[in-house]
Amino acid sequence: MKMNVRKLFVRGGLVVLGLLGLAQLVPYGRDHTNPPVISEPPWTTPRTRELFFTACKDCHSNETHWPWYASVAPASWLVSSDVTEGRSKFNVSRWGQGRQEADEAAGLVREGEMPPWFYLPAHPGARLAATDTQELIRGLIETFGDEKKERTSNRE
């Protein structure tokens, strides 16, 4: 009985390794070319830009630092998808081109939705101290506005 469980475990492990090996043949998520920076927003302070680039640039600019695991499937698929989605919603490297959801940035940081929880363990440098987070929120509001406050003032 003990030997059968062991054989099953070994076979299962080999199947998983085989599937991971086959996943490497899927080319999606491995293009780590950063498009050129076209223009940036008029940051209200250099500190706001610094904090933004510390915590947000990998998904919201064309200056993404691609970690090693971004070349290994299936992690490469997830990283590529997150960067593509982040850039499509808010990209400071293409300022003035297309719709930007910049006025939502402060609220998402304030609510703890940005950066996402799954990003921080692999990017400890993006974790800001509480005072830096508050400074970033203030800077984002000054630079981009605040959707929440704008909605409130529009109702008055």
Backbone angles phi, psi at 39, to 5 degrees: -165, 155
Report how many domains make up the chain: 1
Domain that holds residue 64: 2-155
**Strand-pair partners of 39:** 94
Spell out the SS3 assignment of 95-112: CCCCCCCHHHHHHHHHCC
- Residue 94 pairs in a beta bridge with 39
- How do the pLDDT tens digits run along the chain, 156 residues long? 566 877 777 777 767 666 566 556 666 656 788 999 999 999 999 999 999 999 999 999 999 999 888 888 888 888 888 999 999 999 999 998 888 899 999 999 999 999 998 888 888 888 999 999 999 999 999 999 987 665 444 444
**Model pTM?**
0.77
Instruction: Name the CA dihedral angle for 46, 50, 52, 57, rounded to a multiple of 10 degrees.
Output: 120
